[in-house]
Structure 1
Amino acid sequence: MSLPRLDFLALTHNAATWPWPGKVLFACALAGLLWVVGEAWYLSPPRERLRVLEARTAALQQQLAQRVDVAAGLEVRTHQVRVMEQKAAGVLGGIHGQPEVPELLEDIARLAAANGLVVEGITVLDEQPRSFLIEQPMQIGTSGAYHDLAMFVAALGRLSRIVTVHDVALRPDGTLLHLDLLAKTYRSDAPPGLPLESAARFAYDSSSRRDPFQPLALQDERVSGRPALAPDLIRARGKLEGLATDQFEMVGTLSRGGQMFALLRAASEVYRLTVGDYLGPNHGRVKTIHEGHIELVELFPDEQGAWLERSRTLKLNVNS
């Protein structure tokens, strides 16, 4: 059995005689067909372009919002840049135009003496030109006790000139320590700038720190310097004043005729001292003698040339 062939021409030719429901159904089908064809051929490409444009618009709006934020903070950033430029100009202007090496060497020698150190040598190296300034390096070698060396390095940063410390090397040198460092000062031909703001400067305090190179039993206790009268610089120095105080160790006490003596050893030789005797290169004098320690008073020149008094305690070496 075969289905009858559908003749669309005849069907549409007799459409005028169709009943109203048929006409409405045919019109709906034709409209749906036209909508599908129009959607596929005419509306899809513009809709895709619209989607791309909407995405691009969203991206542009995000960029605009970011640039608005940048523009809002531009005035603040401009002010910050100007302040930084003024500070940089002040730093360059605050650097001396001349090297003034002799004055700096005197300051370094005075700092070393103020902290009881022995300067073994200062070598002034060749200048090193940089982008905005000229470096003047100096190799410094000195020896002394650990805390004294630390106070010396900290004091270098408090000089009126800008001095930086590099390549620090520390090694034992008998009972003392030897310190090698590279110090750099700077000069510039820039015109004077604005005055620099004073910043907090580091000051080394040995009262709460121990010497990592000495056993706890041999640690000496010190207090900060106190103003004192200048010593007698023309006084004849004794034999024990030619040795650094840190080279001595207390090995015992001796009592004779109601007088107490301290026994100190240095370089395999034992010395007997009583109250008032001098010891070490810093005008040190024995203040009191006890069974387990002795107290010394030493004099040091400060950075301004005045004299300070500082106490030092040498403890008994129980292993001697």
Structure 2
Amino acid sequence: MRGASGLPRLTELDIAQLYRNAADWPLPGKALLGGAVVCLLWVAGNTFYLSGAREQLRQLEAQEVALEQQVALKTVQVAGLESQASDLNTMQGRFTNLLRQLPAETEVPGLLEDIGRLSATNGLVLEAIDLLDDQPRTLYIESPMQIGVTGAFHDLAAFINGMAGMPRIITVHDLAFSHVDPSGLRLSLVAKTYRYNHQAGDDLEADLHPPSPALAEPVAYDFSSLRDPFQSPSRQMVRPAGRPAAGPDFARPRGVLESVALDQFEMVGTLSLGTQTFVLLRGASSVYRLAIGDYLGPDHGRITAIHDSHVELAELFPDGQGAWLERSQTLALNVNS
């Protein structure tokens, strides 16, 4: 009961009296009071004064990291700036030279002669060439023309390839194919040639910002192994693949083995007699001994090399256009023989 009765007396202590008697407190009490006051001041200062400054410090640290990244990026860019400026000057010079290579005046008469000669070389019929209106551009002038030619598909493709290989700059646009007969096509296209624009000559250097165009090297159009996509495979003549060669000697008497198809033979071994090597081939229920230079098969096949694992032949066959082609064939050793 004394604790309950003493609590009201404790709460009624005079705070001022405690403050006046603080000088008489023992040292641990003074230290405890001082620590409490310092903690109270630190909490109040941190809450009302340092919280805003700390948030601002975090923002500045994040900004510092971003600036360091930008500095690193700019350093890399500056390191390559000199070489980029040199490359830009080189490209501008190349572009200037390309523009100066364009003819100052129109060269349509010479171009028409070249197109007519190219179409005749590829066996085409040049139906019409219509000159269209010039199209002025910033640094050059386009001179388009509408061209119509008739012929086989691969000959038309060779004609387009030949136009790309002309010495003057020519671009081909708006290609359109149409049938004129079961074996022929009509090609309509727009060919553009270019010449230098004098009116833009004074401002040429100031306008040369784009990179120089890449000029492709002309490539020969080889259609020997390609088919015509505008004809069904059953109707078109397949152009055989092979090397041009002289025709066979029809006055030569043909041997018995030249009447048997090549796929009816199989290599069963080789035979050496002194310095000469023979190949042993089995066909038509018999084994034959052949040397280099002997003929085999219906396509004028002639043995060109004999190896332990295979034998090589060269066959001749017509290309369907009056010439002869040569192809290589190989018969491998049948290890189960």
Q: If the length of structure 2 is used for normalisation, what is the TM-score?
A: 0.63
Structure 2: tracts of 5 or more residues without a match = 206-212, 245-317, 326-337
Counterpart in the other structure of 1:177 = 185
How far apart are residue 124 of structure 1 and its match? 0.6
User: Which residue number in structure 2 is paired with residue 156 of structure 1?
Assistant: 163
Measured after TM superposition, the shift of residue 295 of structure 1 is 4.0
Partner residue, 1:28? 35
Deviation beyond 6 Å, 4+ runs, structure 1: 222-226
Distance in 2 (alpha carbons) for counterparts of 1:7 and 1:157 = 111
Residue matched to 2:220: 203
CA distance in 2, matches of 1:133, 1:55: 53
What is the one-letter code of the residue matched to 1:74?
A: L
RMSD: 3.0
Residue 43 of structure 1 and its aligned partner are, at CA, apart by 2.4
Secondary structure, counterpart of 2:321 in structure 1: strand
Q: Does 1:49 align with 2:68?
A: no
- In the alignment, is the contact (CA less than 8 A) between 2:239 and 2:319 conserved in 1? no
Partner in structure 2 of residue 91 of structure 1 = 98
Q: Output aligned runs, 1:186-225, within 5 Å.
A: 186-189=194-197, 200-217=217-234, 218-221=236-239
What's the offset of the Cα at 1:168? Answer: 0.1
Q: Distance in 2 between matches of 1:177 and 1:311?
A: 27
Q: 1:147 to 1:96 in 2, by over 3 A?
A: same
**In structure 1, what residue type is equivalent to 2:140?**
L
Counterparts of residues 108-257 of structure 1 (less than 5 Å): 108-174=115-181, 175-189=183-197, 200-217=217-234, 218-221=236-239
SS at the partner of 2:225? coil
Q: How does 1:263-302 map to 2 (within 5 A)?
A: 295-297=320-322
* Alpha-carbon shift at residue 86 of structure 1 (Å): 1.6
> 2:241, 2:122 → 1: CA distance?
13
* 1:142–1:178 CA contact under 8 A, matched in 2: yes
* 1:170 to 1:184, Cα distance in 2 relative to 1, 3 A: same
Q: Distance in 2 between matches of 1:311 and 1:97?
A: 48
| Higher RCO, Cα 8 Å, sep 6+ | 1
Q: 2 CA distance for matches of 1:67 and 1:220? A: 62
Distance 2:67 2:155 in 1: 65
Amino acid at match of 1:69: V
Q: CA deviation at 1:53?
A: 1.9
Q: Structure 1 residues 294, 225: closer, same or farther in 2, change over 3 A?
A: closer
Partner amino acid for 2:22? Answer: A
Amino acid of the residue matched to residue 180 of structure 1? S
What residue identity is the alignment partner of 1:138?
Answer: M
Provide structure 1 residue ranges, at least 5 long, that are not aligned to the other structure: 227-292, 298-309, 313-320
Q: 1:197 to 1:60 in 2, by over 3 A?
A: closer
- How far the C-alpha of 1:74 sits from its partner, in A, is 0.3
Contact 1:222 1:311 in 2 (8 A): no
SS class of match (2:221) = coil
Return closer, same or farther for 1:58/1:6 CA change in 2, 3 Å cut-off.
farther
Q: After alignment, is 68-77 or 52-61 more displaced?
A: 52-61
Alignment deviations for residues 78-121 of structure 1 (CA, whole Å, 9 cap, x no partner): 12211211221122111111111000000000000000000000
The 1-side partners of 2:137 and 2:324 are apart by 45
Secondary structure (helix, strand or coil) at the match of 1:186 reads strand
Taking the aligned partners of 2:47 and 2:321, their CA distance within structure 1 comes to 105
Matched position secondary structure for 2:80: helix
1:13 matched to 2:20: yes
Structure 2 counterpart of 1:52, one-letter code: Q
- Aligned-partner Cα distance in 2 for 1:133–1:68: 40
Shift of 1:221: 2.5
Q: In 2, distance between residues paired with 1:95 and 1:225?
A: 40
Structure-2 change in CA distance of 1:120 and 1:73 (3 Å): same
The range that moved more, 84-93 or 99-108, is: 84-93
| Counterparts in 2 of 1:60 and 1:294: CA distance versus 1, 3 Å | closer
Q: Which amino acid aligns with 1:96?
A: P
Distance between the aligned counterparts of 2:129 and 2:216, measured in 1?
29
* Equivalent pairs, count: 233
Sequence identity (%): 44
